[in-house]
Structure 1
C-alpha cells in the first residue's frame, strides 16, 4: 500500500510538471536541458572505453611490422610492404608502399584492390589536405596518383592521414621491420604492456575528476525553480496534502524533469556522436561508430539519474517546512552545521592515507580506496562551499547600492548561489590536484635527450646502399640548411661469422670526423683509432697494424658482405669527443678513400643537419629532399626531451575530457543563471519601476556571481593542493607546487564564470522592464 501511495504521488508530481502551463513548461525544459547536458557527457564517458578499444583493434588489424616473426619465403600469398611514415608539420602521415607477390597476397583493411606502381589510395582527410594549398609541400613528397580512398575499417580515426602506394622491386630492399614480407595483416601475439601503478593511479584520478563535476551539475539541475515550486507546494497543503505527500509530489516533478533530461541527453549525445566524426581534439579523432556506450553503463546512467533526482529533491526539502499559508524557508534560514561537512574530506584523507609512500614498488594501488578517497574529498568541496558562502556573506554589510543588493540576496539564498558554482569549484580542485600529480611524476616519464641541439637540429638515417656523398650534396642545397655533417657507420670483427671481438666503424670526410674526435692531422685516405670512448673494450686488442679484420661480419643466420680489410701501418691515434648525439664513440675512424669499395654498401649513413629555424617550413624542405633521396629515409627532429607515450596519451585524454567538462560547465552555468534571472523577474521589474538604474542591477547580478565564485575558487585551491600533495606522497614523488598551474586553473574557472555572466546580460536587460510586473 505504501509503495502504491509513493507511485501515485510521484505520478501526480510528474503530471504537475507537464500540465503547469507556460511557467511549468519553462521550468521543466530548463531542468531537462541541464540534466540532458550532464547525461550526454556521462554517455560519452561510458562510450570512451569502447572507443579506445575500437581504435586499438583497428590498429592491430592492420599491423604489418615483423619484429619477432620468422622471415617468410616468397609465395603466392605474400606481400612486401615498406613503412614510410612521415611527419607533416604537427601531424603524422601513415604511409605504406606495397608490392603483392601473388594472387593471394593479403589486402590491407580498407582497400578493395592493390594500387599499381605510381598509384596510391589515401584516407579522406589526406585527400582533402593534398587538394588544399596547405598540402602543397606534402604533395611534393608523395609522387603518386590518387586512384581511391581507404575505407573506414582501415583507419583509426576520421582525421587520420594515411595512404597505401604501389611499387616495384621492393623484395630486393627487405630489411625488417621497416621493409618486410608478410602473409597476413594483424598481430595475434600482441601482448599488453606491463601495468604501471602510477599510471593506473593517474587514470583513476582523471576518471573521478572528470565525472564529479557532471554529477554536481545534474544534482543542481533537478533543483531549478525551487522557490516557486515550494510556493506551489504550499497551495497543495492548503487543499489537504500532508507533508510527506507534498515532498513526494515535489520529487515527482523532479523525476519528470530528469526523465525528460534523459531523452534530451540521448539526443545531445547522438548529435555529439555524429559531430565527433568531423572533430579532432589534441590530435585524436574517432568515427561515430566508435562511440557506442556499454549497455550496462548506459543502463546504470538511465537508472541513477532519475533516482538521484528523487533523492536530491527529498534531501533538499528535509529542512523546509511547507505549510498551507507559505514556506518557512522565506524567513532567515537556520545556520548550517560545519561538523558533518568536515567529515567528508577527512574521510577521504583517511582512505588515501594507507597508500602514502607506496609508489611503484609495492604493487598496484587499491582502486576502491583511490576512487572513494578522491570522491569524498571532492564531495567535501560541495558540502563545505555553502557553509563558507553563508559564513562570509553574513559579515558583509557596507558598500554601494549594487553591492548591498547582491549581499542581501546572497544572505537570503546563499545555498542557491553555492550550487551554481559548486561544479566549477569541484572541477578546479580536481584540475589543481591532477596538475600537481602530473608535474610531480613527469620527470619519471620524461627522458632528457643527449643530442647537442647547438650542433644539429635534424637527423636523417639513410637505408643501406644509399650513397651518402650524393645525399649530403642534396641536403646542402636545401633552403634553410646551414651545415651538413655526413657520417656512415658499420661494424668490424675478427672473424667473418660470429666474431668474438668487434669494433665500431665511422666513415666521413675530415670535417665530419672532427665532429667525433680531436684529430692530429687529416687528409683523405687516413685511418684513426679512437681513445677515451665511453664503452669500448675490444678496439685496443682488435686493431693491430697488419691484422685482417672483416667489415659487416655475419651473425647467426644472416648473410652480409663480410669484406676483408687489413689494418694499415699508418694508423693514427685520435682522442674521442662527444658527437652530435652526445656519445663519445670508440672504434675506428676512416676517411672515404680508405674504405674498400665493396664495403660501401655495408655501412649505414646518417646525416646531421644544422638549420636556420627562421626559414618557414625548413623541416618540410628537408623531409621532401629525404624522400627524393630514398623513400625509406627516416627523418628525425631533435628535441631536448622525449616523453613516455602512455603518459602523454593519459595527459591528452585529460585535456580532451577537461575540454568537454568545461563546455558542460559553461552551458550548465548559463542555463542555471537564466533560471535564476527568470525567478527574479518580478523583483527586478519592481526595482526598475521604483527608479533603480539598470547599471546598478547589472552590477548587483555580477557581484552575486563573483562573490560565491571567489570563495569557491579559494576553497577549491585549498582542497586541490591538499589532494595533490597526498597523491604525490602516494606515488613516491616529492611534494612541489607549480603555482603558475594553480593560478592558471583558477583563472580558467573564473574566466568561464565571467563569460557566462556576460552572456546572461542581454536576457537580464530584457527582464528589467516595468511590464514584467504584469501577471495573469
Structure 2
C-alpha cells in the first residue's frame, strides 16, 4: 500500500467535500450532524465511569458514621449529628441535624459554617423547591431560616435535595434509637471492597454493549449519506482519468471529511449536553457538569476510530459498485444478496456464548471477552441480515394502489438504503428485549419481601419515648388523609434487674395498645381496657408463658445516653391467654400484651412507641400531612413508608442506568433518523417534483413515503424481536435461570421503536410537502 498515494487521494476527497459547492457542503454537514450526534453519545458514555466514581467519592466524603469500635468521647473537635431525612411527595430529601461540641468540630463537606439553632443551609435545588408555590406542606415541615447554600463538594448531584439544620440537646438522643451520633470527621477512612456478583457484572457488560451498538450503527450509516449523488461525481472523476481504486479512495476522503467535521460537532454537542446536565434530572439521577469528563484514552480512541471507520465503511460499500466514466452501475438490477455469510455472525456470537450456558453465579465470573464478543456479533448480525430480509420480502410484494406501487418499486431499487435507516432502531430494540428478559428473569434473586403488610398499613412512625400514648395516637388519627392508626408501645421485661452483673436470665417482649391494635397481633377471646394477655403459639419469643406467674416481679428497662432506667411491673392474677397471629410485619409476636390502663404510669415513660398508619389514597398529599404531624410531635421522629418488597441497591442502580441510557439512545435514534430521512428526501427532490408536475397527488406521494418507511421498519422490528428473544434466552441460560418470554415487554419494546419511527416520519412531512413543487425541477 502506497501511503503517499492514499494520503493524497484521501486529501483530495476532503477538498471535494468542502470545495464542491453547495451540494458538497450540504452532504458534509448532514454527515457531520449524524456523526456528531453519535460522537456526543460516545463521549458521554466514556464520561459515565468518571461520573459514577465522582458521585461515589462525594458520597464517601460526606458519610457521617463513626467507623470505629465505639463513638468518641465529647471533645472540642466532636460533632453531634442526627439523621433527619424526609420525603416530599415522591422526592427524597437528605437532612441532617447538627450540633458542634467545640470550636474544632468538623464541618460537613460543602458547608462553610455551622447553622445556628433554627437555621439551615440548603442545596440549590431544595431552595428552589421551598420557594415554589406548591410546597407549603414542606415549608411547614422545614420551618427553619435559610442562611446559606451547600456547595458542590457536599452534593452528589446538581438536583439533589439536601439540608443541614442547627440544633441543641442532641446528646440526649445518642442512644434512644433516633440516630444521633458523635463523630470527629466525615468520610469513610477505611472503605472496604465488596465482592462482585457475576450476574451483576454480566448485566453491566450487556447494558454497555446494547447501549453503544445503536450509536456505532448510526455513525456507520451517517457516513454514507448522499450516496447516489456522490456516485455521479465519482463517474465524472473517472471521465477525467482517475482509476477505480483512486476513485474509491477519493470517495472515502469525502466521507472522512464529514466524519472529521462530525467530531467537531460532536464535541460541541457534548459540551452543550454536559452543561445542560447540570440542570437536568433523569429517573432521580443528576450530576454536576464537572463529573462528565471523558477518559482521555477513550476520547482519543473515538477521535481515531470514527474517521477510520468512515473510510472503511465507504470502501466496503463501494466494493461491489462499478464506477465508469459514463455512469455508475448501481442503477442496473443488482445481484441478489447472499444469505450464508450473513448467518455466520449470529452463529459465531452464539458459539462464543455457548460455553457459559448454565454457569450461573456459583461458578465464578463470566468471561468478559466472550460475553462482549458474543453479544456484539449477535447484534451486528441484525445489520447484516436486515438488508437481505428487506430485499427478499419486497421482491415478492404484489401490486396495489399507486402509493403502494411507488413505495415498493423504490424499495426494490434501493432496499439497502432503506435497511440502513432501520438498522439502528432494530439493533436498539433487539438489545432492549434481551435486557428486559434478563432483568425480569433475575429480578427475583435481587428482590425480597420486607414482611410489611401494605394492605393493613402504609407508613410507620417512631415516636419519642415517654410521649403520651393516647394523645399522640389521636394527633395522627385527626390528620387529614389518615384512615386508621394502630398505636403500639413496646419494651422488654426481664426476670431480674437489667443492671445486674449478668442481666436477666429470661426476658419477654411487652406490647401496649388498645384492643383494636392488639387484635392486629393476636386472637383475643375478649378485650377491654385494663386487660392483660400472654401470647402462646409464637414461633419465636416463647418465654412469656414461663414468666406468667401471678405476683412475679418483672423489670422493664430503657437505655439512654445517661445510663439505663428501669421500673418493676408485677404480673397480675387472671392473665388471659391469646394465640399469636402474623402481625403487621411478617413475624409472630410473643410475650405480654397490655391495654393502656394496665401499664403503670412509671412504666409508660420507658416504652417506645410505634404508630402504623393507613391512608385514604384519594386525599391529596395524605402522606405529607402525616409527616408534618410527626414533625410536630417530635422533630426527631422518622416516618418510614412501607413497601411489600425491597430491591438490591446495585441491581436497582444498574436498571436505573439502563433507563437513563436508553432515554439518551432514543433521543439519538430519533434525531439520527430524522437527519437520515431529510437526506433521503433531499436526494429525491427532483423525482418528487417530476411526479407532482405529472399530476401525482401530494397525498399519494406522502403515503408512498410512509409505506417506504413502514415496510422496512416492520421487517426490522420482526427481526429484532427474533434476535432479542434468542439473545435474552441465551443470557438467561447463562445465569442458570429458567427461560420465560415476557411477551408484554417484547410488545412494549417493539411499540416504542415503532413510535420513534412514526414520530420521525411525521416530523419529516412538512419538508416533504415543501419539496413536492414543480419548481423543484429548475436547475442551473
Which TM class, normalised by the smaller chain length? Answer: over 0.9
Q: Deviations over 1:494-549 (max 9, x none)?
A: 34244443222111223322221222343444332100112124333344334333
Answering whether residue 244 of structure 2 is matched by residue 243 of structure 1, we say yes
SS at match of 2:564: coil
Q: Paired residue for 2:24?
A: 24
Distance in 2, matches of 1:732 and 1:570, equals 58
Give the counterpart of 1:763 among 762, 767, 773. Answer: 767
TM-score (normalizing by structure 2): 0.97
Of 598, 603, 628, 2:632 maps to: 628
**C-alpha displacement of 1:23:** 0.3
State the partner residue of 2:120.
Answer: 120
Once the two structures are overlaid, the 10-residue window that deviates more, 633-642 or 212-221, is 633-642
Query: Which 10-residue stretch deviates more, 399-408 or 32-41?
Result: 399-408
Q: Single out whichever of 475-484 and 543-552 deviates more from structure 2.
A: 543-552
Match of 1:264 in 2: 265
- Match for residue 541 of structure 2? 536
The residue number in structure 2 matching 1:333 is 334
* C-alpha contact (below 8 Å) 1:493/1:553 kept by paired residues: no
What runs of 5+ residues in structure 1 fail to find an aligned partner? none
Greater Cα offset, 140-149 or 456-465 = 456-465
Query: Which of 656, 668, 673 is residue 660 of structure 2 equivalent to?
Result: 656
Q: Is 1:575 aligned to residue 579 of structure 2?
A: yes
Distance 2:541 2:451 in 1: 19
Contiguous gaps of at least 5 residues in structure 2: none
Q: Does the 8 Å contact 2:536/2:542 carry over to 1? A: no
Residue 210 of structure 2 is aligned to residue 209 of structure 1: yes
Matched, 1:683 2:690: no
Q: Match for residue 280 of structure 2? A: 279
Question: In structure 2, what is the equivalent of residue 102 of structure 1?
Answer: 102
SS at match of 1:330: coil
Q: 1:161: which partner in 2?
A: 161
- Residue by residue, what CA displacement relative to the aligned partner does 1:445-472 show, whole Å, maximum 9, x if unpaired? 2223433333222211224343333321
> What corresponds to 1:140 in structure 2?
140
Query: Which secondary structure state, in structure 1, belongs to the residue aligned with residue 143 of structure 2?
Result: coil
Task: Write the distance in 1 (CA, Å) between the matches of 2:772 and 2:27.
Answer: 20
1:753 maps to 757
1:741 to 738, 745, 757: 745
Structure 1 residue 280 displacement after superposition = 0.7
Any residues of structure 2 matched to 1:465-484 within 5 Å, and which?
Answer: 465-484=466-485
Aligned residue number for residue 439 of structure 2: 438
2:597 aligns to what?
Answer: 593
Matching of residue 549 in structure 1 with residue 554 in structure 2: yes
Aligned-pair distance for 1:482? 2.1
Per-residue CA deviation, residues 369-395 of structure 1 (Å, 9 max, x unaligned), is 111111110001000000000000111
Which residue of structure 1 aligns with residue 64 of structure 2?
64
Q: CA deviation at 1:563?
A: 3.0
Distance in 2, matches of 1:12 and 1:286, equals: 44
Per-residue CA distance 1:339-371 (angstroms, 9 max, x = gap): 111011111111111111111211111111111
- Which residue number in structure 2 is paired with residue 173 of structure 1? 173
CA–CA separation in structure 1 for the residues paired with 2:483 and 2:738: 43
**Structure-2 change in CA distance of 1:69 and 1:463 (3 Å):** farther
SS across alignment from 2:639: strand
Residue by residue, what CA displacement relative to the aligned partner does 1:117-155 show, whole Å, maximum 9, x if unpaired?
Answer: 110111111111111112111001012111111111111
- The aligned counterpart of 1:509 is 514
Larger CA deviation: 343-352 vs 596-605? 596-605
Counterpart contact for 2:352–2:370, Cα < 8 Å:
yes
Pairing of 1:25-104 with structure 2 (within 5 A):
25-66=25-66, 69-104=69-104
User: 2:558·2:606 contact (CA, 8 Å) conserved in 1?
Assistant: no
Pick which of 175-184 and 472-481 moved more. Answer: 175-184
Tell me by how many angstroms 1:639 deviates. Answer: 2.6
The answer to whether the Cα contact below 8 Å between 1:539 and 1:586 also exists between their aligned partners in 2 is: yes
Distance in 2, matches of 1:543 and 1:352, equals 64
| Displacement of 1:330 | 1.6
User: RMSD value over aligned CA atoms?
Assistant: 1.8
Q: Aligned in 2, Cα 1:67/1:600: closer, same or farther, shift over 3 Å?
A: farther
Moved more, 362-371 or 94-103: 362-371
Aligned residues: 775
- Aligned partners of 1:590, 1:426: CA distance in 2, in Å? 64
Q: Which one is further off, 673-682 or 684-693?
A: 684-693
Q: Which residue of 1 aligns with 2:677?
A: 673
